[in-house]
Amino acid sequence: MARPRTAARTVEHPDLSEVSLQQVLEALVDPVRRLVVSQLARAGEDKSCGTFDTPVSLSTLTYHFNVLREAGVIRQYYRGTAKMNTLRTDEMEERFSGLLSAVVAASAPESSTTSPSSRRPPANPAATSPSP
Amino acid sequence: MARPRTAARTVEHPDLSEVSLQQVLEALVDPVRRLVVSQLARAGEDKSCGTFDTPVSLSTLTYHFNVLREAGVIRQYYRGTAKMNTLRTDEMEERFSGLLSAVVAASAPESSTTSPSSRRPPANPAATSPSP
DNA sequence: GGCTTGGTTCGATGACGGTCGTACTATGGC
DNA sequence: GCCATAGTACGACCGTCATCGAACCAAGCC
């Protein structure tokens, strides 16, 4: 006892004054993360991690959420067992005027037109033996 | 003969309708390239490749100019032996409204605050043997 | 013609980021 | 108490990108 060890499901968020343009751009340059941001933007309400439509595994998704949170793009909080996500739209607007909105706007048309210049193709290492 | 082989110092530029948001973000995410864009933006006039203040070698700089050009961010043309550079501001505004301007704006304050989350430190491979 | 100035091309290199699977932990419901 | 649900942590892996130096090329200038 005397050691909660779980800190009661709390999530750390950076103050936006501490995040750099570099961080934000690095966060937004990944197609999967931009997919998350897009879906969050057009959802209009908070979404739990599991409700996003992305082409990556759950563990990878967790990684992306961390990047977005540390870059100050999203805010996360627990509700029951679910972890909810919101865009920090206003704060971002305050700090990097026009940036997030421009990316979101430009993302809308591309959405599934997600054609990264050349990004790792799924790298299916288990698809070498054709017939089971 | 009958083969100019040099195409008379001509430079190829993409139509902005052909460049993706992905490409532009990838171009702008690099601190050195953003440095170039910044300096170009505040110069107010075209600058030749050699006149930029960056922490990288000339050959690396050439590489960065290519990336920027292929992403439609800059336009290049020869004048004598010099290669000049301009921002394609208006066209970019047309295609990705608010994006370039937001980045440029946010870059101004950071300028030398270029603190990439963690980017290759000069990687001085020739500094291993202290005394010659 | 020949030197100088301004950029480019070509490997080689090293680092970091995104990916996965598996094992694990924490809530909530029964 | 126990199982299901939701997400996290941890290695491992591999590709791509930024970087450099050296060799090279093209215009100008004298």
Task: Provide the residue ranges of all domains of chain B, joining segments of one domain with +.
Answer: 18-111
The pLDDT tens digits for A69-110 are 999 999 999 998 999 999 999 999 999 999 999 999 999 877
Nearest to A34 by CA among A114, A120, A89, A99: A114
Do B105 and A98 make contact, defined as CB atoms within 8 angstroms? yes
Q: Is the pLDDT of residue B130 over 70?
A: no
**pLDDT tier at B20 (50, 70, 90 boundaries)?**
very high
Tell me how close the Cα of A33 comes to any Cα of chain B, in angstroms: 12
**pLDDT tier at B30 (50, 70, 90 boundaries)?**
very high
**pLDDT tier at A111 (50, 70, 90 boundaries)?**
low
Of B23, B28, B97, Cβ closest to residue A117: B23
pTM of the model: 0.84
Tell me how close the Cα of B57 comes to any Cα of chain A, in angstroms: 21
Nearest to A63 by CA among A36, A90, A87, A82: A36
**pLDDT tier at B4 (50, 70, 90 boundaries)?**
very low
**Region A39-67 average pLDDT:** 96
Percent of chain A scoring above 90 in pLDDT: 71
Do A99 and B115 make contact, defined as CB atoms within 8 angstroms? no
More confident residue, A126 or A25: A25
More confident residue, A9 or A102: A102
Nearest CA in chain B to A67: B117
Query: Any residues with CB less than 8 A from the CB of B29 and at least 6 apart, and which?
Result: A22, A25, A26, A29
Q: Is the pLDDT of residue B70 over 70?
A: yes
Which pLDDT score is estimated for B123? Answer: 42
- Among A29-33, A38-42, A123-127, the range scoring the smallest mean pLDDT is A123-127
Q: B18-111: what fold?
A: Arc Repressor Mutant, subunit A (1.10.10)
Distance CA A8, CA A78 (A): 10
Distance CA A111, CA A34 (A): 9
